[in-house]
Amino acid sequence: MPLEKRIEDSRKKAVEELAEVLLRDCEEMLSVLDRLESQLGLSPAECFRLLYQLGELELDDWSLLPHAEIVDFRRRVINLEARLRAVLTKSEKRQELLVRLASGILTTLAEMRRAYKKIVNLLASGELETTLPSIELNADLLSWRDYLGYALSLLEKLGLDLDSKVSAEFTVLDQDMRKVLPRIVGLYREAGDDPTPYPDQFPKSFWWRQI
């Protein structure tokens, strides 16, 4: 089998496995929400994960899934969103979900800010691309920005607003990232270690993946 064909098949298999993992995880978290009458039952981190994983299922390009599975995949995603909307019709759960979601996002922003400072310090000393491989840049910063992008897109679709404190902290961090990421990505590419090699796999609105 040609190398290109093996790579393509490997990518398709990885996409199938990821889709199933995300679907099952969202289904399990929504089952927790469905079972409890008044309590939420999910931690702040889980509330954030539910939003960004469902957002990823809705926004990402899943065209590599086998054609026979696409219809069922879309049906399951639509059902998950409908279940989340049903939860949000209950005022007590809606409020608690938003409070915990805000907490989960604030924790994420704090971790991203720490990673950002480390990256900027390495950049200033000229050691970034030789000290921190692109896989770590993704793990510490870019992937979490992806998760925020997915969660915020889903929130907008659901007609929900971020807590003002969360929104302010997110805006500041995003502005800071816009100032340095083009230079950072350029340095990694010059070193042959592109941190964003597949921009077409992400929504066009994800500016940090379209540099």
Lowest average pLDDT, out of 105-109, 186-190, 196-200, goes to 196-200
Cα 37 to Cα 28, 32, 40, 41, 99, distances in angstroms: 16, 10, 8, 10, 18
Lowest average pLDDT, out of 64-68, 80-84, 144-148, 171-175, goes to 64-68
In which residue are the tokens 């049906």 written? 75
Nearest one of 113, 111, 49 to 84, comparing CA atoms: 49
Tens digits of residue pLDDT in 50-107: 999 999 999 988 988 888 889 999 999 999 999 999 999 988 888 999 999 999 999 9
Encoding tokens for residue 95? 């409020």
Structural domains counted in the chain: 1
17 is in which domain, residue-wise? 3-209
Does residue 206 sit in helix, strand or coil? coil
